[in-house]
């Protein structure tokens, strides 16, 4: 039972895209319903796998078939404690993203077909365990995102889409060249086999003087996708100009592809380089963390505030990962495991939270015709449901106890502090700045006197609250009972950190 389930989950949205493209007529309702059914089917099957997942058994639901045996390429997919929550995140968000697309008018066929292709690429990128076809999904995720920004975005969408494409494709080229060089010296594209070779100390010897260059090349493709300073300049324009459902994909899911790549590929295959350059990598993560927080303070556009908030919060994940190379874990404490578990939970929690925030930010723009937070005030008395939803998600991002953001961040910074106390102390300034800009949003939007032009704004509908209710429930559930979610990754992370620390 479960054979080919991952493949089925991955390609159902692609099948939905084909049905949309080939179906006659332009019935908008039917097109959207087809995309929704495709996403829901994949979501239900993913949830069924999650319910059957046994964290202590390691890699599960494996599908492995020879594909191009002459160069050692297998079709190899599976779920473990590293990718399960990320696949669940795609499953939870994809139907909500389709529902958030109800406002798309004109060119519905290409929009919903591209959206469905995007879901297939995301499932594939998080489940593939052979670099060759992982890279195919990695690049496949770029193409629909580019067209969705360019064709359906805001007034500056062409430049934003082009910058997004150029940055990510150049990073991907560097990563591909690095991996091809690695393959020529190891004879494998298999992530699991590469990790074994690294643990046995074979890879540094095979790469010789090219070891550092290959490490940097592979890392660059992931660096751009996260993104980290200084290759982050494409991010805010892309998030701001993209239609809101695409902003949900970019901030909620695609940024996690880069973080996941560091955990799946860079950290296990290049542990020596991660240790050697730990201080430099931590500095870049720290700059990104602080940059995102302090630049967000200067923004008036709500979507740009959320874009820089995302830059700041995803940098938390990278800070926890880079801290692993800084020092040995204190005796009696597996600090690397704590930091990595925090990073995995932060990917999930942030993906859920930022997607919900972009969803409700769109509603405010639709109702008021503006995203300028300085043009609002007093909405707390006008839109009580909106205040509750927006406030809950903001407080989670702020790291309020008993909400998802706190559970993830406390693990990251506890583990990182044990490994890199000075860097972590500076990172706490970023947490303070994060609190300031998030509270500034709440103050600007919801407190003070109501502007006469805003007094008649309609509240968010019960239907829209229902659409994102899974995100609200998860925000509280993760915060109140984080052990239920950490249990998925705990055994994997424990064994993973023990292996890479040898």
List strand residue ranges (DSSP E) for 27-178, in order. Answer: 60-68, 73-79
pTM for the complete prediction?
Answer: 0.94
Helix 335-368 to helix 469-480 angle (10° resolution) is 150
Residue 69: how many other CB atoms lie within 10 Å = 8
Task: Report how far residue 77's alpha carbon sits from residue 91's, in angstroms, rounded to the nearest whole number.
Answer: 17
- Residues 116, 21 contacting (CB under 8 angstroms): no
pLDDT at position 332, please?
56
Task: Report how far residue 267's alpha carbon sits from residue 497's, in angstroms, rounded to the nearest whole number.
Answer: 10
Residue whose structure tokens are 């994909």 = 249
Helix (H) or strand (E) holding 459: none
Q: What share of the chain is helix, strand, coil (3-state, %, to 5)?
A: 80, 5, 20
Residue whose structure tokens are 């593939």 = 128
Q: Is the dihedral of CA 275, 137, 120, 56 positive or negative?
A: negative
- Residues 326, 419 contacting (CB under 8 angstroms): yes
Residue whose structure tokens are 């297939």 = 120
H helices then E strands: how many in the chain? 23, 2
Residue 208: how many other CB atoms lie within 10 Å = 8
Q: Is the dihedral of CA 29, 30, 35, 36 positive or negative?
A: positive
Q: Which of 267, 299, 180, 174 is nearest to 225 (CA)?
A: 174
Q: Which residues pair with 68 in a beta bridge?
A: 73
pLDDT at position 28, please?
82
Task: Report how far residue 9's alpha carbon sits from residue 181's, in angstroms, rounded to the nearest whole number.
Answer: 32
Task: Report how far residue 13's alpha carbon sits from residue 8's, in angstroms, rounded to the nearest whole number.
Answer: 9
CA atoms within a 13 Å half-sphere pointing along the CA-CB vector of 342: 32
Helix (H, G, I), strand (E, B) or coil at 329: coil
How far is residue 369 from each of residues 101, 246, 364, 373, measured CA to CA in Å? 18, 19, 8, 12
CA atoms within a 13 Å half-sphere pointing along the CA-CB vector of 209: 0
Phi, psi of 201 (to 5 degrees): 75, 20
Residue 463: how many other CB atoms lie within 10 Å = 9
pLDDT at position 364, please?
84
- Residues 265, 191 contacting (CB under 8 angstroms): yes
Averaged pLDDT, groups of 10, the chain, 502 residues long: 82 96 84 95 96 91 91 92 96 96 86 96 96 94 94 92 94 94 93 91 90 94 93 93 94 94 93 91 94 88 92 93 76 80 95 94 83 84 89 92 93 91 88 86 85 79 92 96 93 81 59
Task: Report how far residue 60's alpha carbon sits from residue 70's, in angstroms, rounded to the nearest whole number.
Answer: 26
Residue 155: how many other CB atoms lie within 10 Å = 8
Q: Which residues pair with 60 in a beta bridge?
A: 79
Phi, psi of 62 (to 5 degrees): -75, 135
Task: Report how far residue 290's alpha carbon sits from residue 315's, in angstroms, rounded to the nearest whole number.
Answer: 9
pLDDT at position 363, please?
84
First-to-last alpha carbon distance for the chain, in angstroms, is 36
Q: What 8-state DSSP symbol labels residue 99?
A: H
How far is residue 350 from each of residues 67, 120, 471, 478, measured CA to CA in Å? 36, 21, 11, 11
Joined together, the tokens standing for residue 348 give 């999930």
Joined together, the tokens standing for residue 297 give 């303070």
């Amino acid at each position: 039972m479960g054979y080919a389930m991952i493949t089925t989950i991955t390609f159902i949205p692609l099948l939905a895209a084909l049905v949309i493209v080939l179906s006659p007529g332009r019935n908008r309702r039917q097109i959207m319903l087809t995309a929704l059914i495709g996403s829901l089917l994949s979501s239900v099957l993913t949830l069924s796998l999650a319910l059957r997942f046994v964290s202590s058994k390691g890699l599960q639901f494996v599908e492995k078939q020879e594909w191009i045996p002459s160069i050692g390429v297998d079709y190899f997919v599976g779920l473990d404690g590293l990718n399960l929550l990320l696949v669940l995140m795609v499953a939870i968000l994809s139907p909500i993203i389709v529902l958030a697309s109800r406002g798309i008018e004109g060119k519905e066929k290409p929009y919903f077909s591209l959206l469905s292709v995007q879901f297939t690429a995301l499932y594939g990128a998080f489940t593939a365990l052979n670099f060759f076809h992982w890279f195919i999904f990695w690049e496949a995720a770029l193409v629909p995102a580019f067209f969705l920004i360019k064709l359906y975005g805001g007034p500056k969408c062409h430049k934003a889409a082009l910058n997004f494409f150029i940055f990510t494709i150049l990073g991907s080229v560097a990563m591909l060249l690095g991996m091809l060089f690695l393959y020529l010296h190891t004879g494998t594209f298999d992530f699991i086999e590469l990790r074994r070779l690294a643990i046995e100390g074979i890879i540094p010897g095979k790469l010789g003087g090219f070891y550092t260059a290959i490490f940097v090349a592979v890392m660059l493709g992931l660096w751009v996708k996260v993104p980290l300073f200084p290759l982050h300049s494409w991010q805010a324009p892309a998030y701001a100009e993209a239609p809101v459902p695409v902003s949900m994909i970019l901030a909620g899911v695609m940024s996690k592809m880069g973080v996941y790549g560091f955990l799946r590929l860079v950290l296990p295959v290049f542990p020596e380089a991660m240790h050697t350059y730990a201080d430099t990598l931590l500095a870049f993560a720290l700059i990104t963390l602080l940059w995102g927080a302090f630049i967000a303070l200067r923004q008036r556009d709500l979507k740009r505030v959320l874009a820089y908030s995302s830059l700041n919060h995803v940098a938390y994940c990278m800070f926890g990962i880079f801290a692993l190379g800084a020092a040995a874990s204190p005796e009696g404490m597996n600090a690397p495991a704590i930091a990595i578990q925090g990073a995995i939970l932060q990917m999930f929690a942030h993906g859920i939270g930022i997607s919900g925030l972009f969803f409700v930010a769109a509603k405010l723009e639709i109702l008021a015709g503006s995203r300028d937070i300085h043009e609002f005030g007093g909405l707390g008395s006008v839109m009580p449901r909106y205040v509750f939803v927006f406030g809950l998600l903001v407080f989670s991002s702020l790291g309020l106890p008993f909400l998802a953001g706190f559970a993830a961040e406390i693990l990251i910074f506890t583990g990182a502090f044990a490994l890199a106390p000075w860097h972590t102390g500076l990172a706490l300034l970023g947490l303070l700045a994060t609190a300031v800009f998030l509270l500034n949003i709440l103050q600007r939007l919801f407190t003070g006197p109501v502007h006469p032009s805003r007094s008649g704004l309609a509240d968010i509908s019960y239907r829209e609250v229902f659409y994102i209710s899974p995100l609200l429930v998860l925000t509280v559930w993760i915060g109140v009972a984080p052990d239920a979610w950490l249990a998925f990754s705990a055994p994997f992370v424990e064994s993973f950190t023990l292996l890479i620390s040898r």
